[in-house]
């Protein structure tokens, strides 16, 4: 079974990225983007398959799920769509955040428009607007498989990509620092030291409650890197680990209460300050600051099952 095999998918992604690089060298911008988008999707599926092939199989096609488990009943197999691929990667690869998923889908949508419509969204597209993002996403997915850019591209090309990534990271760092400085200056102008405006802003920040949350969300107190006021950062649930369990409390009706203590890890992917208006998106931008990107909560839960007893 090769349809969902990690090595088969990885090797196909190498074929596609080689074609992308050949198109780049031939100054064919459309094919460069087309093959890059294909390589990225297949590389994403290889990353999922490295965890388990069932993550690549279409969950609505039973024979595909069987094939992913090693039982092949047909050669007509279906894998998950690109959107599902990148959504799943945001859960299983911590460095692959929601921003990475959106950037990958932009490439996929341009590819689909080229292939399935009369549009040509790649025509006139500046390569600088997508190439660094492509290499960043690819490098994350390669690393998640325990491989390197050199494995995927060869030594000389990997060195060029590494330089692109270094330059892109520094550009982003300077962009974020500049954004913070502009917000800091604007806030200082509107709320000068010792002013009533500053005291009002500080009071609002001190008493502002954490916003309401949906399932799998939590807020953590922090300090805005621009205005220096108290803020809340939103985290999305990433992992749950049972750290304690057992019976507790007084015996009632012949049994003790069973409890679980779960440590929940939350991942922060964006930030907005309601006072100075600073906005940050993605782990890369947050990492430039001292804002929390991960935090934990210990929560007590009542399990929806009873533990085994009397059979040990």
Which range marks the domain in which residue 77 is found? 6-153
Residue 141 lies inside a defined structural domain of this protein: yes
- Of 124, 153, 182, the residue that ends a domain is 153
Residue 119 lies inside a defined structural domain of this protein: yes
pLDDT at 311 over 60: no
Residue 177 lies inside a defined structural domain of this protein: no
pLDDT in tens, 40-89: 999 999 999 999 999 999 888 888 888 888 888 777 888 999 999 999 99
Residue 102 lies inside a defined structural domain of this protein: yes
Same domain, 262 and 205: yes
Same domain, 30 and 135: yes
How confident is the model at residue 309, as a pLDDT?
53
pLDDT in tens, 20-35: 999 999 999 999 999 9
How confident is the model at residue 304, as a pLDDT?
63
Report percent pLDDT > 90 for the chain. Answer: 74
Per the structure, the count of domains in the chain is: 2
pLDDT at 253 over 80: no
Residue 171 lies inside a defined structural domain of this protein: no
Residue 302's pLDDT band (cuts 50, 70, 90):
confident
Report percent pLDDT > 70 for the chain. Answer: 93
How confident is the model at residue 310, as a pLDDT?
52
Residue 244's pLDDT band (cuts 50, 70, 90):
confident
pLDDT at 39 over 60: yes
Residue 308 lies inside a defined structural domain of this protein: no
pLDDT at 280 over 70: yes
Same domain, 142 and 220: no
Residue 99 lies inside a defined structural domain of this protein: yes
Same domain, 27 and 104: yes
Residue 161 lies inside a defined structural domain of this protein: no
pTM of the shown model: 0.83
How confident is the model at residue 232, as a pLDDT?
96
pLDDT at 250 over 60: no
pLDDT at 139 over 70: yes
- Of 98, 118, 153, the residue that ends a domain is 153
**Tokens 């911590």 found at:** 94
- Of 123, 153, 183, the residue that ends a domain is 153
Same domain, 223 and 91: no
Residue 245's pLDDT band (cuts 50, 70, 90):
confident
């Amino acid at each position: 079974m090769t349809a969902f095999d990690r090595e088969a998918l990885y090797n196909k992604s190498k074929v596609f990225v080689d074609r992308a690089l050949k198109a780049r060298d031939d100054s064919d911008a459309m094919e460069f983007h087309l093959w890059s988008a294909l390589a990225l999707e297949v590389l994403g599926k290889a990353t999922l398959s490295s965890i388990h092939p069932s993550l690549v199989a279409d969950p609505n096609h039973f024979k595909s799920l069987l094939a992913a488990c090693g039982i092949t009943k047909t050669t007509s197999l279906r894998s998950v769509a690109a959107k599902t691929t990148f959504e799943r990667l945001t859960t299983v690869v911590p460095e692959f955040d929601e921003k990475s998923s959106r950037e990958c889908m932009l490439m996929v949508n341009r590819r689909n428009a080229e292939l399935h419509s009369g549009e040509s969204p790649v025509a006139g597209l500046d390569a600088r607007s997508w190439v660094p993002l492509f290499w960043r996403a690819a490098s994350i997915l390669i690393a998640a498989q325990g491989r390197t850019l050199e494995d995927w591209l060869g030594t000389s090309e990997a060195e060029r990509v590494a330089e692109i990534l270094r330059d892109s990271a520094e550009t982003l760092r300077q962009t974020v620092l500049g954004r913070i400085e502009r917000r800091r200056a604007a806030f200082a102008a509107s709320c000068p030291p010792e002013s009533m405006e500053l005291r009002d802003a500080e009071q609002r920040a001190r008493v502002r409650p954490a916003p309401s949350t949906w399932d799998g969300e939590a807020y953590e107190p922090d300090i805005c890197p621009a205005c220096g006021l108290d803020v809340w950062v939103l985290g999305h649930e990433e992992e749950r680990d049972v750290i304690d369990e057992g019976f507790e409390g007084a015996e009632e009706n012949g049994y003790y209460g069973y409890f679980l203590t779960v440590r929940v890890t939350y991942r922060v992917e964006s930030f907005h300050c309601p006072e100075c208006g600073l906005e940050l998106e993605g782990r890369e931008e947050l990492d430039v600051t001292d804002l929390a990107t991960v935090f934990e909560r210990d929560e007590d839960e009542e399990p929806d099952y009873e533990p085994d007893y009397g059979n040990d």
